[in-house]
Amino acid sequence: MVDLDKLGNGGTALEISSTEGERAALAKRFGFLGLPAFSARVTVDRRPGGQVVVEGRLRGRIVQACILSLDPVTQELDDAFRLVFAENVTEDRDPESGEALLNSQGDAPEPLTGNMLDVGEIVAEQLSLTADPYPRRPGLKLEDVLPKPKGGARRSAPEQRRHPFAGLAALKDKPRRGR
């Protein structure tokens, strides 16, 4: 946690090293099989106009389940991030549903509430964004995990699929009775 009221002119620099327990909690939170290594370097700086800039670089190693085979897949992380926070940021809301609307400015500042900034949570969120959402074991293709055709013989031509309205088409061509 960084107290923004006590932030000096030069900002502050933080070295974040995670413990084994913290890595286990983060792995469980984000659905990873494991998080053997995770650290970050972060700077927090106040800019003119009341903006707070958080810049950093996270490094680590995560283990996730392959989306095709469920085998463990390891991903090395080395990612830079930058977030801008500002006071009095208002979200545009849909007048009917009350849901927040997306801002057309991709770099619009995040709302800053209070004088405490949870840098640990910011780094954890960046970890989840950096992780591959669809990890795949190298060289594995979908065909490798699909069931093989029964009987061992491969069919030379693709099997014809029956159109869902084929029965109606047959009725259309049939002569009408009683009219």
Domain hosting 122: range is 2-144
Q: Given this model, what pLDDT does residue 73 score?
A: 92
Indicate the burial class of 42 (C-beta count within 10 angstroms; 0-12, 13-18, 19 or more). buried
Is residue 155 included in any domain, yes or no?
Answer: no
104 inside domain: yes
pLDDT at 86: 86
**Total number of domains in the chain:** 1
pLDDT of residue 141: 74
Position 151 in a domain: no
Which pLDDT score, from 0 to 100, does residue 76 have?
94
Domain-located, residue 165: no
Q: Is residue 176 part of a domain?
A: no
The C-alpha angle 50, 14, 131, rounded to 5 degrees, equals 95
CA atoms of 60 and 76, how far apart (whole Å): 6
- Domain membership flag for residue 98: yes
- Looking at residue 57, its pLDDT comes to 96
What was the pLDDT predicted at 97?
Answer: 73
Give the per-residue pLDDT at 91.
Answer: 59
What pLDDT is stored for residue 54 in this prediction?
92
User: What's residue 71's pLDDT?
Assistant: 87
pTM of the shown model: 0.67
**164 lies in some domain:** no
pLDDT for position 12: 87
Confidence at residue 49, expressed as pLDDT on a 0 to 100 scale: 77
Distance CA 52, CA 46 (A): 4
Is residue 178 one of the residues assigned to a domain? no
Q: What is the pLDDT along the chain (179 residues), one digit of tens a residue?
A: 888 888 877 888 999 999 999 999 999 999 999 999 999 999 999 887 778 899 999 999 999 998 888 889 999 999 999 999 887 655 566 677 767 655 545 567 887 888 888 999 999 999 999 998 988 888 877 766 667 777 655 555 555 566 777 777 767 767 766 65
Q: How far apart are CA 163 and CA 179, in angstroms?
A: 29
